[in-house]
Structure 1
Amino acid sequence: MVLIVESGGAVIQHGGSETGGLIPVASYARTSEDSRQRDGHGVRYQLRINERTARDHGCVVVMAYSDNARSASKAGVVRPGFDRLMADLVRGRTDGGQPIKGVVCVADDRLYRRAEDLARFFAALTSSPGRIYVDPQGVRDPYSQEGLMQAVRSLDAAATETRVRSRRLSHWHWARAVEGVPHSGPRPFGWLEDRITLHPEESKLVEQAISDRLSGKAVRAIARDWCELGVTGTRGGRPNGQTVTQIITAPRVCGYRANRGELLFVPETGEPVVGQWQPISTPELWHAVCATFSPGSLFLHRGSGAPRLTDSRRPVPRHLGTGFLRCGARSPDGTACGGALCAQKGRSQRSPYVYSCRNCRRCSISGPLVDTALERLIFDQAHGCTRVPDTTRQRWQVGEMGLDEKRKIVGSFVTHCLVRPGVKADHTWDFSRVEPIWR
């Protein structure tokens, strides 16, 4: 049986013996957000509409693809459903072997909002002849000039809508901000769900953290104290130095309102806009605690929508063992911790820096000891591996080789090293604590 569909002036024929004479199509649905109900109802409704649209135009849905709460207008957003649809279109069939002769969707902007995605979709859809694209307005011929021009017009309309909506949303946030309305989004640490009333326990922690920081305490130490108390962030994460810094340097702690990384001021008086919520600290203490950090660390330079002033590149390792060491401390069930050992300042001239596990905090070892152990492993114990040339060894030992080159050599021999915990009160240097995992 052959079904003939007129589309854009062209006649496209499809054989349909396996689908009762209907054209087998793939159904796609996407929503940009699902923040309220979080049940995927948006994509579910779209897929139902797609099924009705397919039936109305002589098609049958053989596979459904969806991306819930995935933006199509932002670069770098991964859409697994869209990626799977593109792969199946190029292949011409589903994983189960069902042929795909077209795509049905409620609107073009569900599939693409960027030129790159439009080009990718049309290339995949037209990779085989005789396919169609279906939406509630009818059947389109993706091979015709009119079909392509209609897609380009849809793309231009979607891009314009994105710009208008972004500008409208930006104005809406600014208007809320100048009136002192609390920030939208997740509940800020230190306040209740109404974002106005102070949280009885969290607000005290923030107040104490500001006091401790002004007294010279490191934010990492404050974060460790919070972890030991079982404190978690408003989204369930464990506190660390960066999150503590963000919390205590946010203008909201003293009642000030900011927008897109900048403090807002009342035009008539030049005074900062004061929010409608209860403050945790005073403006004087907030200014004082901000002064204890470099500018690039402050909330105003790292908050939502604000440009980062610090270098975005990852810091360069300063020690040989950084990134190669794993904690070998045993848990009660006999498994190794496996946490990364990070370098930090030591307390003696013999060990000016040490490697410590931040996960279990039960394993710590002298930095110079480990770096010397790594050197011994590479030059003396690399059994079954290609030996390091004598010239390379000489350059290493006389100081002609930089740290980056040394680390590359270590990485070519070992994937990582397990470090066993030491014996308490035993200050002897035991190189056997470092166990290499050879490549």
Structure 2
Amino acid sequence: MTVDLMVGRENVNDVPTHWRSELLDVASYARISEDVRQRDGHGVRHQLRINERTAHEHGCRVVAAYVDNGRSASKEGMARPGFDRLLEDLVRGRTAEGQEVHGVVCVADDRLYRRPEDLARFFAALTSRPGRVYLDPSGFRDPYTHEGLLQAVRSLEAAVTETRLRSDRVLNWHWARAIEGVPHSGPRPFGWREDRTTRHPQEAALVEQAIDERVAGKAVRAIAREWFDLGVTGTRGGRPNGQTVTQVITAPRVCGYRSSRGRLLLVPETGEPVTGSWEPIVAPDRWQAVCATFSPGSLYLHRGSGTPRRTDERRPAPRHLATGFLRCGAQRTDGTLCHGPLSAQKGRSRRSLYVYSCRSCQRCSISGPLADEALERLLLSGSPAGPRLTEDTRGRWKSGELAERRQIAGSVLVHCAVQPGVKGKQEWDFSRLAPVWR
């Protein structure tokens, strides 16, 4: 029997016979993308009330509610626990409490899905059992018919178009504000008062001094340690470190320039940098001078990863053989391995002028020269479990520079897991390095 689309039916008597019962038990779903003003969940609460009214008007009864508050449905990778539980219960046919579910009620399609993947998941779960219904304020829809699926696809296309247009409007709005020199929104920048235009006397003095000291050759970590000792905190309460200090002193705002999305803004007519409406801390030449002291991998034009860099300079090449190949083998409290990268740092003894240490858990450290020697032994030992280097490759290793040796190592080695050492043990244990070969 072919079932027509249920949109626009006036009462429960319009429901097909295979759906008709005294009360249809349905699940209610509500979602809102942002709840940043009142933070009380009023948006999803109002949707649930509308769902209750819709269910009552069409002879249904809400037996379970699923909520995703402050969760976007258009962003890739965004978790929606309520939506996932709804799909699980639809496939199972009942809630975790054992209540059977015969359909879903929602205020609009775009509350459920704004991505094709979610549309496919929802319809697969909803129609995993016969006799299910989908209900919105317009009435019943038959999810099993071709027309019902087409209407869902049309709703998805409308939601995608709306998301794209809204994103473009937001981007254009931010660009127009930026080109006029309006300060960044969000938390106030370090160095300025809450109005984002007036210099903060103490913080601005610290920023100016840090720029002068960095240009004179002082390490950023040393500046961060001094700020830490002074009790300086960021505008959101965090303690300073080398990365945050770098972001503060290389931000174009320190000299009055305006950036947007990691790029320095230029006046379209003149090509000159856009000047903001706030008080600068240093002159543009001082900002350019401090930016020149950083490599592209360390220079930030604004907060956040993936930021475009200002220069085309190449990142300095590693100075040690095992850099980038060592992973921490220490065990966390939950029983999992740390597996964080070990980075080279200055050592404290003549025997170990540098060491490889894990910055993630800070529980694993190994002598740099001995680790490099152990890695070389693993590569050249010719053991059954290790790589079989050709004579030509061995010759390249012996006569090659560090870059050549690292290239050879990378061709046969994924990484080495380093086991934590035993405190007080004097003998060097080469078995601490456990290689993973390609």
**TM-score bracket for this pair, using the shorter chain length:** 0.7 to 0.9
Q: Map of 1:259-408 to 2, 5 A cutoff?
A: 259-267=260-268, 270-295=271-296, 297-300=298-301, 307=308, 319=322, 322-324=326-328, 326=330, 342-346=343-347, 350-356=351-357, 358=359, 366-369=367-370, 389=384, 403=409
**Is the deviation greater in 301-310 or in 101-110?**
301-310
The equivalent position to 1:13 in structure 2, one of 9, 18, 29, is: 18
What corresponds to 2:80 in structure 1? Answer: 79
Alignment CA distance shift 1:198-1:53 (3 Å): farther
**Is the deviation greater in 196-205 or in 181-190?**
196-205
Q: Map of 1:28-107 to 2, 5 A cutoff?
A: 28-107=29-108
What corresponds to 2:127 in structure 1? Answer: 126
What corresponds to 2:165 in structure 1? Answer: 164
Counterpart of 1:253, as a letter, is: V
Mapped pair 1:189 → 2:176: no
The alpha carbon displacement at 1:216 in A equals 1.7
Contact 1:209 / 1:222 at 8 angstroms: preserved in 2? yes
After superposition, what is the alpha-carbon deviation per residue over 1:211-243, rounded to whole angstroms, capped at 9, x for unaligned? Answer: 222122233343344444454443444444333
The alpha carbon displacement at 1:289 in A equals 0.9
After superposition, what is the alpha-carbon deviation per residue over 1:115-169, rounded to whole angstroms, capped at 9, x for unaligned? Answer: 2211221111111111111112222111122222221221121111112111111
Counterpart Cα distance in 2 of 1:273 and 1:146: 53
Counterpart Cα distance in 2 of 1:132 and 1:40: 27
The equivalent position to 1:418 in structure 2, one of 411, 420, 425, is: 420
After superposition, what is the alpha-carbon deviation per residue over 1:297-338, rounded to whole angstroms, capped at 9, x for unaligned? Answer: 43348768955799xxxx99952773225499xxxxxxxx99
Counterpart Cα distance in 2 of 1:162 and 1:101: 31
After superposition, what is the alpha-carbon deviation per residue over 1:11-45, rounded to whole angstroms, capped at 9, x for unaligned? Answer: 153476xxxx4212121111112222233222222
Alignment CA distance shift 1:390-1:155 (3 Å): closer
Alignment CA distance shift 1:372-1:263 (3 Å): closer
Counterpart Cα distance in 1 of 2:410 and 2:112: 45
Alignment CA distance shift 1:404-1:239 (3 Å): farther
Counterpart of 1:11, as a letter, is: P
Alignment CA distance shift 1:376-1:257 (3 Å): closer
Counterpart Cα distance in 1 of 2:272 and 2:386: 67
Alignment CA distance shift 1:266-1:389 (3 Å): closer
Contact 1:419 / 1:433 at 8 angstroms: preserved in 2? no
The alpha carbon displacement at 1:108 in A equals 1.0
Counterpart of 1:40, as a letter, is: G
Counterpart of 1:417, as a letter, is: Q
What SS does the corresponding residue of 1:133 show, helix, strand or coil? strand
Q: TM (normalized to structure 2)?
A: 0.75
Counterpart Cα distance in 2 of 1:352 and 1:34: 53
After superposition, what is the alpha-carbon deviation per residue over 1:55-101, rounded to whole angstroms, capped at 9, x for unaligned? Answer: 22222222222222222112222222222222222222211111111
Counterpart Cα distance in 1 of 2:88 and 2:309: 37
What SS does the corresponding residue of 2:25 show, helix, strand or coil? strand
Counterpart of 1:62, as a letter, is: V
Contact 1:327 / 1:341 at 8 angstroms: preserved in 2? no
After superposition, what is the alpha-carbon deviation per residue over 1:169-225, rounded to whole angstroms, capped at 9, x for unaligned? Answer: 112112211221111123323333322233344333322322222122233343344
What corresponds to 1:334 in structure 2? Answer: none
What SS does the corresponding residue of 1:85 show, helix, strand or coil? helix
Counterpart of 2:175, as a letter, is: W
- The CA RMSD over aligned residues, in Å, is 4.4
Contact 2:330 / 2:364 at 8 angstroms: preserved in 1? no
Counterpart Cα distance in 1 of 2:431 and 2:159: 58
Q: TM (normalized to structure 1)?
A: 0.75
State how many pairs are aligned.
406
Contact 1:133 / 1:140 at 8 angstroms: preserved in 2? yes
Alignment CA distance shift 1:339-1:224 (3 Å): farther
Contact 1:109 / 1:154 at 8 angstroms: preserved in 2? yes
What corresponds to 1:178 in structure 2? Answer: 179
The alpha carbon displacement at 1:269 in A equals 5.0
Counterpart Cα distance in 2 of 1:288 and 1:409: 38
Contact 2:30 / 2:48 at 8 angstroms: preserved in 1? yes
**Is the deviation greater in 155-164 or in 221-230?**
221-230
Identity among equivalent positions (%) equals 65
The alpha carbon displacement at 1:406 in A equals 8.2
Contact 2:300 / 2:309 at 8 angstroms: preserved in 1? no
Mapped pair 1:153 → 2:182: no
